[in-house]
């Protein structure tokens, strides 16, 4: 199979697994060259037992297989590829990322913020989807990853990469914010900078270990001064450093133990006491089972 055919096959595989509805996003998976973002091959591919290796405390670097050579066609499958095997950092599973990006409802010309952009591969997917008339800001706290992302994305004039804490950095008004690391709570800057109709997707997670968390992908949509909220999928992901709080982790664990994720309807920012309709009550925010209303802000 020729390389271009492999890229198209890969995009169709991702489309089928993720049930993509956004045609431009599906095309982006065929057009963006994954090998340009993952460094020279051979590459390390996460094996099916990699999750077991992690949960059982196996030494870093285990749970991967190495491709037999540097043929880029090895990358065009729905697989996790290591970007730093020693730290168990991977370029996320394409179908999972595609599912979440599809839920972000990206449109041509939009301004997007990608928090935790890693080496920039999915930032490039976003940039391809919104087109050159849009703008994408990738934010990455890790200096090495930020430098790699900046170099990888230098050819895209409508993309910038900032080395900063993604929960603190103000990238300006945005139509969409995609957080690609696990937080215990939505940060104020993510909420306040959303335009009318803007969408925020973030992994709301409890800590399982120092470098792993699990929970649900939360989608928020701004409607005037109110925020519609719903969980769209489970998730296991690396933590978002700076966007985790020990007490909120405890409260979130209790909420998740109760279950009923599907009951969440809105994010409230008004001052109120915890009540039966509060699914997860925090300081300055609350995931509520009530329908969104302007009075909740």
| Domain presence at residue 205 | no
| Digit-coded pLDDT (tens) for 216-265 | 999 999 998 899 999 999 998 888 888 888 899 999 999 999 989 999 99
Q: Would you say residue 41 lies in a domain? A: yes
Q: Which helix (H) or strand (E) holds 174?
A: strand 174-179
pLDDT attached to residue 63: 87
User: Residue 280 pLDDT more than 60?
Assistant: yes
Does 31 map to a domain?
yes
Enter the tokens of residue 51: 């999750």
How far apart, in Å, are the Cα atoms of 30 and each of 13, 22, 94, 243? 10, 13, 12, 33
Instruction: Please state the domain count of the chain.
Output: 1
Burial environment of residue 68 by CB neighbours within 10 A (0 to 12, 13 to 18, 19 or more):
exposed
Tell me if 4 is assigned to some domain: yes
Kindly list the strands in the beta sheet with 81-84, ordered across the sheet, starting from the edge strand earlier in the chain: 64-66, 44-46, 81-84, 89-91
Q: What is the mean pLDDT of residues 265-288?
A: 93
Q: pLDDT class for 289, splitting at 50, 70, 90? A: very high
Give the pLDDT of residue 211. 65
Per-residue pLDDT of 143-197, as tens digits, reads 999 999 999 999 999 999 999 999 999 999 999 999 999 899 999 999 999 999 9
Q: 6 lies in a domain?
A: yes
Q: Which domain holds residue 17?
A: 1-90
> What does the alpha-carbon distance between residue 89 and residue 44 come to, in Å, rounded to a whole number?
11
Domain assignment of residue 36, yes or no: yes
At residue 230, the 3 state secondary structure works out as: strand
**21-52 tens-digit pLDDT:** 999 999 999 999 999 999 999 999 998 754 44
Query: How confident is the model at residue 239, as a pLDDT?
Result: 87
Tokens of 202: 């973030």
Report pLDDT for 240: 85
Residue 56: pLDDT over 60: no
Structural domain contains residue 270: no
Do residues 166 and 182 lie in contact, with contact meaning Cβ atoms separated by under 8 Å?
Answer: no
Q: What is the pLDDT of residue 212?
A: 73
pLDDT, tens digit, 9 for 90 and up, residues 80-113: 999 998 888 899 999 999 999 999 999 999 999 9
278, part of any domain: no
């Amino acid at each position: 199979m020729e390389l271009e055919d492999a890229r198209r096959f890969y995009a169709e595989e991702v489309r089928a697994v993720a049930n993509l509805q956004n045609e431009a996003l599906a095309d982006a998976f065929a057009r963006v060259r994954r090998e340009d973002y993952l460094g020279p091959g051979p590459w390390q591919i996460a094996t099916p037992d990699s999750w077991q290796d992690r949960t059982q405390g196996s030494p870093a670097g285990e749970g991967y297989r190495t491709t037999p050579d540097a043929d880029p066609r090895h990358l065009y499958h729905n697989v996790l590829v290591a970007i730093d095997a020693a730290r168990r950092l991977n370029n996320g599973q394409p179908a999972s990322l595609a599912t979440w990006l599809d839920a972000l409802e990206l449109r041509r010309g939009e301004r997007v913020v990608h928090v935790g952009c890693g080496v920039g591969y999915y930032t490039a997917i976003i940039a391809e989807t919104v087109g050159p008339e849009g703008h994408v800001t990738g934010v990455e706290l890790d200096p090495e990853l930020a430098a790699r992302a900046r170099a990888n994305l230098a050819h895209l004039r409508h993309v910038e990469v900032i080395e900063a804490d993604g929960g603190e950095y103000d990238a300006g008004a945005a139509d969409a914010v995609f957080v690609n690391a696990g937080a215990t709570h939505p940060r104020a800057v993510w909420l306040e900078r959303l335009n009318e109709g803007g969408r925020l997707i973030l992994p709301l997670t409890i800590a399982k270990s120092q470098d792993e968390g699990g929970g649900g992908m939360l989608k928020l949509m701004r409607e005037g001064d109110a925020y519609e909220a719903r969980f769209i999928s489970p998730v296991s992901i690396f933590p978002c450093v700076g966007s985790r709080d020990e007490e909120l982790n405890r409260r979130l664990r209790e909420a998740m133990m109760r279950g009923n994720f599907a009951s969440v309807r809105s994010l409230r920012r008004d001052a109120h006491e915890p009540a039966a309709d509060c699914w997860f009550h925090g300081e300055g925010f609350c995931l509520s089972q009530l329908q969104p209303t302007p009075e909740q802000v």
